[in-house]
Amino acid sequence: MKSTFSLALTLAVALAAPCAHAAVDCLTVAASSAQQHAGAFAGRFQATQVLDVDLSVLFSARAAGRLAGDHVVEVRVYTPKGNLYQSIELPFTADSGRRNQERRLPGHPEPLALRGLAAATLNRSLFFAVKATLPVAGTPILNNSLYGQWTAEAFVDGASAACGPKGTFTISE
């Protein structure tokens, strides 16, 4: 009887707990580099051929339409072994008139420029993206041969859940 009550209480608490939903949905995080693939989204990059890898958080037109005002996206980048390598926070806006204005973020010593959503094409579909840059040349990625499949996920406005599925890309020697 006591175990049945405990199970029922556990289920009630679990069902009553709020779900950790992302504030805004995004499609994924897609990778590109100006030094390879003509800047198009790709899944593989050679560490000795790129200066950095751009990580674009992609939003559908519908999701971008709900992004009124200023927002912050955090892109978490994980090594091939699954360890957090870097967390990149970027303020962004859907308001083209506010692009490049500065915004202070907690934990950052200097204000950061607001980035605007830019049109991006993936698999012949139009999306809107905010782009973070992951330096490769002259970093521990190259110096410590951190080659293999990397993972990136995005969180919008401090949400506890990622806004979409993780994106993957490979950095090879």
pTM of the model: 0.83
Structure tokens at 35: 């030094």
Residue 22: per-residue pLDDT: 56
Spans of the chain, pLDDT less than 50: 1-21
The CATH homologous superfamily for domain 21-172 is Macroglobulin (MG2) domain (2.60.40.1930)
**Cα–Cα distance measured from residue 24 to residue 26, given in angstroms and rounded to the nearest whole number:** 7
Do residues 163 and 154 lie in contact, with contact meaning Cβ atoms separated by under 8 Å? yes
Domain positions in the chain are: 21-172
What separation in angstroms does the CA of 114 have from each of 92, 98, 103, 166?
A: 5, 7, 7, 24
How much is the pLDDT for 103?
84
Which pLDDT does position 34 carry in this prediction? Answer: 95
